Chains A and B, each alone.
Chain A
Amino acid sequence: QQQVKQSPQSLIVQKGGISIINCAYENTAFDYFPWYQQFPGKGPALLIAIRPDVSEKKEGRFTISFNKSAKQFSLHIMDSQPGDSATYFCAASWDKLVFGAGTILRVKS
C-alpha cells in the first residue's frame, strides 16, 4: 500500500525556472514531512523538512508548502540550476520514514 503518492515521475525545467513536485499522504498520524535529494550513485540526503503545524518552510531556494486539510505538500525550487538535477523524494513519518516514488528532475542550461 503506497501511503505517500508523489508526482510527477520526471520533470524538465529550464535554468532559472521553478521546479514543483507534489506529494499526497493518507495517514493522518504522520507528523514529519522531509524531502530527500539523491544524486546518481549516492544515497539520499535530507534537503528540507516540515512539521504539520507549519504551512510553509523556506531554506534558500527551496520551499515546502504544506496543506494539512488536503493532506498534501509540495517542494518548490526557485531559480532552478543544473546542479539541482537529481532525484527528489518526499517522505512522511511518525516513527519510520515512508517514501514517495521519487521525481527525476533535470534542469536544462
Chain B
Amino acid sequence: DAGVIQSPRHEVTEMGQEVTLRCKPISGHDYLFWYRQTMMRGLELLIYFNNNVPIDDSGMPEDRFSAKMPNASFSTLKIQPSEPRDSAVYFCASSPGLAMADEQFFGPGTRLTVL
C-alpha cells in the first residue's frame, strides 16, 4: 500500500480564498483523522471519521473549517475564507480502529501558507 496520500503538499493562497486539502486513507482503514500542526499549538486533532461518518469535530476551530468524507477512499478539509492564522501543516491519518493496537498512520502533510 502507498500509505496515506495527501494533496497538495504545499499550498500558498491569499487571505479570503477558499482552500481545499485532500486525503486518501489506507485501504481498509475505518478511521480517518485530520490534524493541524503549528509551532504554537503543536499537533491538534481537528476532526475524525468512522466509516465516513464524522464522529468528533470538537477540534474544528470555527465555522470557516469544514470536512467531508464522501466515500471510504477520500476526504477533504476545506477552509473558507482562509486567514493568515490558518497557516500550518495539516496532516491526515488513518487507522483500522481505535483500539490500542490500531496504529494511526500519518500522511506527509500539506503545508498551507495564507498570505
Does A61 lie at the interface of the complex (its beta carbon under 8 Å from any beta carbon of B)? no
Does A43 lie at the interface of the complex (its beta carbon under 8 Å from any beta carbon of B)? yes
**Interface membership of chain B positions 35-71, coded 1 if the CB is closer than 8 angstroms to chain A and 0 otherwise:** 0000000111100100000001000000000000000
The interface residues of chain B lying within 8 Å CB-to-CB of A45 are: 105-106
Q: Using A44-B106, A96-B45, A101-B42 as known contacts, say yes or no to A51 and B100 having CB atoms under 8 A apart.
A: yes
The interface residues of chain B lying within 8 Å CB-to-CB of A51 are: 100
Q: Do A32 and B100 touch (CB < 8 A)? A: yes
Residue in chain A with minimal CB distance to B93: A43
Does B87 lie at the interface of the complex (its beta carbon under 8 Å from any beta carbon of A)? no
Cα of A41 to Cα of B9 in the assembled complex, Å: 10
Q: Do B45 and A97 touch (CB < 8 A)? A: yes
Cα of A77 to Cα of B104 in the assembled complex, Å: 22
Cα of A93 to Cα of B106 in the assembled complex, Å: 16
Minimum Cβ distance to chain A for residue B67 (Å): 15
Cα of A49 to Cα of B109 in the assembled complex, Å: 23
Main secondary structure of the interface of A (DSSP, over half): loop
**Interface membership of chain A positions 91-106, coded 1 if the CB is closer than 8 angstroms to chain B and 0 otherwise:** 0010111111110000
Partner of B100, one of A31, A44, A98, A102: A31
The interface residues of chain B lying within 8 Å CB-to-CB of A44 are: 43, 91, 106
Cα of A97 to Cα of B100 in the assembled complex, Å: 11
Q: Which of A74-109 contact B (CB under 8 A)?
A: 89, 93, 95-102
Q: Using A49-B100, A97-B104 as known contacts, say yes or no to A89 and B91 having CB atoms under 8 A apart.
A: no
Q: Do A89 and B4 touch (CB < 8 A)? A: no
22 CB-based A-B contacts, threshold 8 Å: A32-B100, A41-B108, A42-B109, A43-B93, A43-B106, A43-B109, A44-B43, A46-B103, A46-B104, A89-B42, A89-B43, A93-B100, A96-B45, A96-B56, A96-B98, A97-B45, A97-B104, A99-B43, A99-B44, A100-B42, A101-B42, A102-B42
Q: Considering the complex of A and B, which 8 residue pairs feature the smallest CB-CB distances, nearest first?
A: A43-B106, A99-B43, A101-B42, A32-B100, A46-B103, A44-B106, A43-B91, A95-B98
